Structure 1
Amino acid sequence: MPIATVNPANGETLKTYEAMGEEEIERRLQLAQATFRTYRTTSFAERAGLLNRAAELLDDAQQDIARVMTTEMGKPVKQARAEAAKCAKAMRWYAEHAESLLADEEPAAHDVKDSGASRALVRYRPLGPVLAVMPWNFPLWQVIRFAAPALMAGNVGLLKHASNVPQTALFLEDLFHQAGFPEGCFQTLLVGSGAIDEILRDDRVKAATLTGSEPAGRAVASTAGDMVKKTVLELGGSDPYIVMPSADVDRAAEVAVTARVQNNGQSCIAAKRFIVHTDVYDRFAERFVAGMRALKVGDPLEEDTEVGPLSSEQGRTDLEELVDDARRSGASVLCGGQRPDGPGWYYPPTVVADVSREMRIHREETFGPVATLYRAADLDEAVLIANDSAFGLSSNVWTRDEAEVDRFVRDLEAGGVFVNGMTASHPAFPFGGVKRSGYGRELSGHGIREFCNITTVWHGA
């Protein structure tokens, strides 16, 4: 795949970039290693000052970088501005909280005495250069939720961004440089996916984090395992959205539309499988389909656009094939389901019902504005349908019955359970999944400690 900005609204190639050669990669690896030796000794206050400055610069650049993101991957520009604002918020959150999250921990006094020590503590120390392999769908947020905690912990970052968002990738490197971070603290590597293996095998790279597809995660995990290096993986998702009879069904249907089509439906944590109790199924379906039909699809740079194009022609083809396979296998397409005429990689908001386990759309992730609708006889069947997936990123449940909430929290196989609301990420809460959605956690204290050397310090009597 070429490293290029291709506008998904019209297919026009706007900018292309040459991949970095071996000499430039080597120079940057040397710089990362050298910078880490000194940056790791800086204080939390110094790092926080730099990160807060980066947040200020990002706020100042919000309008411009939003247009860049929209032009590169097609998200509505209002959502792009919100993404930039969210990134600045997360940077400030880690600047404020990192020191306390990584404070020395003192074991219980009786355990210290029992170990034969006069005193003991646990200290979190940075690992070194961390390789981040990041996707295009949230081209700022995916990077910042790694970079902010990593830099506050004293690590340095090497970013291999998706090849279709090179301008966003270069903006990020410049952002940290302009904020005053030492040269080499955060570097963008303009390379293709074929270069990842060799970079990860380099002894100077101490760990890796990847957000992306399952095949990409398998490749990075395999290499990292071979080299005995720590990894965090956030892969695909096919999140269930369960509606029970006690729920506010009208509100559930309204939120369901946003939960499905946020970011043009190209979000790992977007709700994708809508599992509705039979007692309220017809009511929910009517309102949900009407809401999907009413969405404005169009130029993502227009302020009132709600759904823009998919990021690539191949992405649209993949989505079409899932819908067409379901239709041929007996599913009902309640709205959408047909590629529109005209330029750009658009696909309409689509709802598919009467889905069976044999259909590809049941087993695979739909990365675009396509929802599948299921009828469940009771809570037990809702849980069975929800867990009948290779993925386990997050989940949404709508109910006013606390006993039902307890059951869902106990039984759903997911990294998150959002009750009477849609899944969203926040710097204070851990983010990640189970099963083929990956392992490890980003954000919160759990995320900042993922790339730390958890060190036991023991003093004899």
Structure 2
Amino acid sequence: MKNRTIMGGFRTINPATEKVIKEYTYMTDDEASEAIEKCHKAFIKWKTKSLTQRGKVIKAIGEKLMERREEFAKLMTQEMGKVIKHGFQEVKLCAGLCEYTAEQGAKELEDEERELPEGGKGIITYAPIGVVYGIQPWNFPCYQAIRYAIANLMAGNGVLLKHAENCTGSGLFLKEVFEEAGLPKDLFTVLIIDHEQSNTVIENEFVRGVTLTGSAEAGKVVAQKAASVLKKTVLELGSNDAYLVLDDADIALAAETCVQGRIYNNGETCVAAKRFVVVESVYDKFKKAFVKGMKGVETGDPTKRETGLGPMAREDLREKLHNQVEKSVENGAEILTGGKLPKGKGFFYPATVLANVKPGQPAYDEELFGPVASLIKAKDNTDAMRIANDSRFGLGGGIFSKNEKKAIELAQQHFDTGMVFINSFGLAQPNMPFGGVKDSGYGREHGGFGIKEFVNVKAVMSLNS
């Protein structure tokens, strides 16, 4: 494999072919500082625009994304190995986020009036705060950037993006789309910088908030850095989401859905199904159907629509995943299918199922960011929920049961996560909050919640004389 890092810059590499796509040069410190100041100056003008004016631009961005969706889907597949059909779905989701934000943003951000206890009028204004810095990963090159950028642009803020190096082209593509749709120049700025420079960006006087999607370890570093300069953060971190198959579940539906939930986006999704906690009375039946489904996943060229599983995004990520599988096996886990490094070009890894998964194994304790499923047997429904919550993470999860009312009650009262899917696997919905608890982070995006994360909730009071 060609070296990703070069003097003063880096190369992006196609994970399916291992061929170099493009070389990039890091910005100098002065160039980065100048770009941030330009973003701030653009913000000063943008914040005076009405909510209606902002909404028109946001809507146009969504329309432009759909116009160029084929081009963008191909670019994402080239940069991080996403199967092409998932790229189209991602762009469509992002266009939906733009449309929802354009339509609902004005309602979420409009002034509120309240009578004061001793007479007079109070006005609550959701004022933009300035430039918001986003540090984003590679697994959803369009969505990860869109979901925080669109909300903050609608709120009147300026936006900086440090995208993952291997999808730098996607970040620059977004900037092009935004400006084609009418967003003022420099208001959305892509910073091509390294980690050390990123810390300096957090300290920059024009940066007023920081949001990161990534690992819990990265979240701790960014949160500490931002806290040291008293800046708010929103963190969407990793997870090892549990999907519960209860004793009254539709096993055929559960097995089919869980296969899709595990391999979607090549298994590289924060909120993907990862631990499959199955009640003992239906365990063998589910295991048989689930393993059969995972064995049937077609791995191959991600540019072909029939492909179900493409390569992992980078060689080091595949090595980490395989090490986690091997350590789990050394500690008692059993491979039911997959688990072997394939030969040939590309960073492919087979759809894998591990059984006899217990605490002390990476397959139980850690996040497996790739197409590896952890199959865990529970004594009964109560034990299944205990196992689900026996995690330092808490992003999402799922429950399979024919009793929808009971499943919803379990989700509301007992599942210690930010999102729960009933008899389904899901990623995100524009009108529902997205985010987690515990080591999966804090803060929310989507559903009108993200649009208020980085605003100044300002109280204006006019008292009667």
TM-score (structure 2 length as normaliser): 0.96
Return the match for 2:76 from 66, 69, 74. Answer: 69
Query: Post-superposition shift, 1:338?
Result: 0.6
Return the match for 1:121 from 120, 123, 126. Answer: 123
**Does 1:58 pair with 2:65?**
yes
Separation (CA, whole Å) in 1 of partners of 2:229 and 2:430: 30
Separation (CA, whole Å) in 2 of partners of 1:358 and 1:237: 16
Larger mean Cα displacement after TM superposition, 44-53 or 67-76: 44-53
Deviations 1:398-422 (A, max 9, x none): 1133335313421111001211111
Deviations 1:105-150 (A, max 9, x none): 233x4xx2x2x24111211111100000000000100110111111
- State the percentage of identical aligned residues: 39
Structure 1 regions of 5+ residues with no counterpart? none
TM-score (structure 1 length as normaliser): 0.97
Residue of structure 2 in register with 1:8 after alignment: 15
Return the match for 1:156 from 158, 180, 183. Answer: 158
Residue of structure 1 in register with 2:354 after alignment: 352
Aligned 1:82-121 pairs, distance under 5 A = 82-107=89-114, 109=115, 112=116, 114=117, 116-121=118-123
Separation (CA, whole Å) in 2 of partners of 1:182 and 1:407: 47
Given that 1:399 and 1:405 are in contact with CA atoms closer than 8 Å, whether structure 2 keeps it comes out as no
Separation (CA, whole Å) in 1 of partners of 2:137 and 2:80: 11
Deviations 1:208-240 (A, max 9, x none): 110011121111101110011011000001100
Return the match for 1:78 from 85, 97, 100. Answer: 85
Residue of structure 2 in register with 1:438 after alignment: 441
Residue of structure 2 in register with 1:219 after alignment: 221
Separation (CA, whole Å) in 2 of partners of 1:434 and 1:204: 29
Larger mean Cα displacement after TM superposition, 231-240 or 326-335: 326-335
Which SS does the other structure have where 1:209 is aligned? strand
Given that 1:394 and 1:417 are in contact with CA atoms closer than 8 Å, whether structure 2 keeps it comes out as yes
Given that 2:247 and 2:380 are in contact with CA atoms closer than 8 Å, whether structure 1 keeps it comes out as no
Separation (CA, whole Å) in 2 of partners of 1:28 and 1:154: 18
Amino acid at match of 1:213: S
Which SS does the other structure have where 2:384 is aligned? helix
Given that 1:161 and 1:169 are in contact with CA atoms closer than 8 Å, whether structure 2 keeps it comes out as yes
Q: 1:419 to 1:404 in 2, by over 3 A?
A: closer
Separation (CA, whole Å) in 1 of partners of 2:365 and 2:113: 47
Which SS does the other structure have where 1:445 is aligned? coil
Separation (CA, whole Å) in 1 of partners of 2:316 and 2:273: 22
Residue of structure 1 in register with 2:432 after alignment: 429
Query: Post-superposition shift, 1:363?
Result: 0.9
Given that 2:358 and 2:364 are in contact with CA atoms closer than 8 Å, whether structure 1 keeps it comes out as yes
Residue of structure 1 in register with 2:260 after alignment: 258
Query: Post-superposition shift, 1:5?
Result: 1.8
Return the match for 2:41 from 25, 29, 34. Answer: 34
Residue of structure 1 in register with 2:50 after alignment: 43
Separation (CA, whole Å) in 1 of partners of 2:363 and 2:410: 27
Given that 1:4 and 1:166 are in contact with CA atoms closer than 8 Å, whether structure 2 keeps it comes out as no
Residue of structure 2 in register with 1:341 after alignment: 343
Residue of structure 2 in register with 1:415 after alignment: 418
Which SS does the other structure have where 1:164 is aligned? helix
Separation (CA, whole Å) in 1 of partners of 2:113 and 2:273: 41
Deviations 1:70-118 (A, max 9, x none): 01000101111111111111111101110001122233x4xx2x2x241
Return the match for 1:185 from 184, 187, 190. Answer: 187
The root-mean-square deviation of aligned C-alpha atoms, in Å, is 1.1
**Does 1:459 pair with 2:462?**
yes
Structure 2 regions of 5+ residues with no counterpart? none
Q: Structure 1 stretches (4+) deviating beyond 3 angstroms?
A: none
Given that 1:132 and 1:160 are in contact with CA atoms closer than 8 Å, whether structure 2 keeps it comes out as yes
Amino acid at match of 1:379: N
Aligned 1:183-332 pairs, distance under 5 A = 183-332=185-334
Separation (CA, whole Å) in 1 of partners of 2:202 and 2:409: 42
User: How many equivalent residue pairs?
Assistant: 456
Given that 1:4 and 1:165 are in contact with CA atoms closer than 8 Å, whether structure 2 keeps it comes out as no
Deviations 1:311-352 (A, max 9, x none): 011111111111111112221111111111111100000000
Separation (CA, whole Å) in 2 of partners of 1:150 and 1:419: 30
Separation (CA, whole Å) in 2 of partners of 1:239 and 1:365: 8
Which SS does the other structure have where 2:275 is aligned? strand
Query: Post-superposition shift, 1:4?
Result: 2.7
Which SS does the other structure have where 1:94 is aligned? helix
Separation (CA, whole Å) in 2 of partners of 1:142 and 1:399: 31
Return the match for 2:24 from 10, 17, 27. Answer: 17
**Does 1:362 pair with 2:364?**
yes
